[in-house]
Amino acid sequence: MPNDIVLEAQSVFATYNQTIKALNGVSFSLRRGEILALLGSNGAGKSTTLKAISNLLPAERGQVTSGQIIFEGREVRSSSPAELVRAGLVQVLEGRHCFKSLSVEENLVSGGLGRSSLRREIAEDLEKVYLTFPRLKEKRHTSSGLTSGGEQQMTAIGRALMSRPRLLVLDEPSMGLAPLIIKDIFRSLKRLNAEEGLSILVAEQNSTVALKYADHATVIENGVAVLSGRAADLRQRDDIKAFYLGEGSTLAPRRPAA
Ligand X SMILES: Nc1ncnc2c1ncn2[C@@H]1O[C@H](COP(=O)(O)OP(=O)(O)OP(=O)(O)O)[C@@H](O)[C@H]1O
What residues make contact with ligand X under the rule CB under 6 A? 16, 20, 22, 40, 42-48, 60, 205
Contact partners, residue 79, CB within 8 Å, separation at least 6 = 55, 87
129 contacts 93 by C-beta, under 8 angstroms:
no
Taking the CA of residue 241 as centre, how many other CA atoms within 13 Å lie in the half-sphere pointing to its CB?
A: 5
Question: What is the nearest approach in angstroms of ligand X to the Cβ of residue 106?
Answer: 29
- Calpha distance 125→222 (Å, rounded): 39
- Which of helix, strand or coil describes residue 19? coil
Comparing CA positions, the residue from 158, 164, 170 lying closest to residue 53 is: 170
C-beta closer to ligand X: residue 45 or 173: 45
The Cα 7–Cα 22 span in angstroms is 20
CB nearer ligand X, residue 126 or residue 251: 251
Nearer to ligand X, 94 or 121 (CB): 94
DSSP secondary structure code for residue 164 in this structure: -
The least distance separating ligand X from the CB of residue 60, rounded to whole angstroms, comes to: 4
The dihedral sign for the CA sequence 193, 198, 201, 202 = negative
CB contact burial 18-38 (16+ within 10 A = b; e otherwise) = eeeebbbebebbbbbebbbbb
CA-based max dimension of the chain? 54
Closer to ligand X by CB, 27 or 142: give it. Answer: 27
Distance CA 95, CA 177 (A): 11
**Nearest-approach distance from CB 81 to ligand X, in angstroms:** 16
CB closer to ligand X out of 53 and 108: 53
DSSP strand pairing (89-92 vs 167-171): parallel
Closest contact distance (angstroms) between CB of 125 and ligand X is 30
111, 122, 133, 129: which is closest to 184 by C-alpha? 133
Report the nearest approach of ligand X to the CB of residue 51 (Å): 8
- Nearer to ligand X among residue 44 and residue 192 (C-beta): 44
- In angstroms, give the least distance from the CB of 44 to ligand X: 4
The smaller minimum CB distance to ligand X, of residues 2 and 246, is found at: 246
> Smallest distance from the beta carbon of 147 to ligand X, in angstroms?
24
